[in-house]
Amino acid sequence: MRARDDANSLDQATSEFLTARPRLFGIAYRMLGSVVEAEDIVQEAWLRWQNTDHAEIQDPAAFLATVTSRLAINLARSAPKRREAYVGPWLPEPVETSADPQVGAERAEAVDLAVLFLLEKLNPVERAAYVLREAFDYPYQRIAEMLETSDANARQLVSRARRHLAAERREPVSPAAHRRLLEVFLSAARTGELSVLEEVLTMDVVSYTDGGGMRGASRIPVIGRAHVSRFVVAFAPRFWPGTEERWVEANGRPAVLVTAGDTVLALVSAEVSERGIERLMWVLNPAKLAPFVASLDG
């Protein structure tokens, strides 16, 4: 009888973890901007869950979310050193969201690539508070418990994160308007039409190319309409010929996968406001593109 009870308990614990898993991944991914690191965090949470006395846990989902958040905070604290060793600009790893627009969240907030990129500028605890509140709608009291702080401080953490993002990011346009402007940009980028590029780019646009050390990828951000336009025109002859474009959804926004035969060259995405294109994000790193392409193929 004892063995049967133990088996039933293990089955229940496994079921509780699998139910919570999408949310655990969503928390870790938003905090770290990396699918691989998020999966590692979820795996570590599973190991901790296996070694926990489940009879003492009243709310398994809350316990697992707390463990995941704290593990992600610890890993995020080491991110600056890892980013320093990264060659060129670092961009969050894209995820395909057409099947699951929320990526394990109750709300779709904090999954946009531009938001994830800006979250990197927050300290890990601010980032965690923002993600837990904006994406998962946790009450402040629960956030305070998860982050081992006071209710008042939890509110301050979220407020500071909101102010930072508001200062760095303009209101995005609708997905349809986003796609239209990205279409115009890509057409002009292919043909090297400088005047059209200058029309769709904002004055202070920034272009980031995440190549992870690949030859030909810009190792510094390109800043300003004139510089970005000329940069795009300069590499057009050696980048676009022989390529095809596939429209996809990356992190809840329209994006374009650029391929040459069976080779995936880049994922092109943008942050778009009513002013035009605010940020261009070119993911060329094969290690980041491979999981995204695999998810497209099911």
List, for residues 244-255, the tens digit of each pLDDT value: 999 999 999 999
According to the model, what pLDDT value does residue 100 have?
78
Q: Where are the beta strands (DSSP E) in the chain?
A: 201-210, 222-223, 244-250, 253-260, 263-273, 276-283
> Over the stretch 149-162, which tens digit does the pLDDT of each residue have?
999 999 999 999 99
Pairing assessment for the beta strands 201-210 and 222-223 based on DSSP bridges: antiparallel
pLDDT over 80 at 53, yes or no: yes
Reading the block at residue 26, the tokens are 């969503």
pLDDT over 50 at 297, yes or no: yes
Dihedral pair phi/psi, residue 3, rounded to 5°: -60, -40
> Over the stretch 54-77, which tens digit does the pLDDT of each residue have?
888 899 999 999 999 999 999 999
According to the model, what pLDDT value does residue 99 have?
76
> Over the stretch 253-269, which tens digit does the pLDDT of each residue have?
999 999 999 999 999 99
pLDDT over 80 at 6, yes or no: no
According to the model, what pLDDT value does residue 206 have?
97
Q: Which residue has the higher pLDDT, 9 or 191?
A: 191
Cα angle: 124, vertex 46, 117; to 5 degrees: 30
pLDDT over 80 at 201, yes or no: yes
Distances (CA, A) of 16 to 21, 25, 45, 49, 248: 9, 14, 12, 10, 33
Average pLDDT, the chain: 91
Q: Which residue has the higher pLDDT, 297 or 7?
A: 297
| Residue type at position 259 | T
Of 241, 237, 231, whose CA–CA distance to 282 is shortest?
Answer: 231
Distances (CA, A) of 256 to 8, 65, 69, 174, 217: 47, 33, 32, 17, 18
According to the model, what pLDDT value does residue 213 have?
80
Going 21 to 27 to 32 to 34, the CA torsion angle's sign is positive
Half-sphere exposure of 42 (CA within 13 A, CB side): 24
According to the model, what pLDDT value does residue 1 have?
41
Q: Among the listed ranges 2-11, 171-180, 229-238, which one has the minimum average pLDDT value? A: 2-11
- pLDDT above 90 covers what percent of the chain? 77
- pLDDT above 70 covers what percent of the chain? 97
Whether pTM > 0.85 for this model: the answer is yes
Query: What mean pLDDT comes out for the span 194-219?
Result: 91
According to the model, what pLDDT value does residue 88 have?
87
> Over the stretch 80-130, which tens digit does the pLDDT of each residue have?
777 778 888 999 999 998 877 778 787 777 889 999 999 999 999 999 999
How far is Cα 83 from Cα 296, in angstroms, rounded to an integer?
27
Q: Among the listed ranges 13-27, 114-128, 205-219, which one has the minimum average pLDDT value? A: 205-219
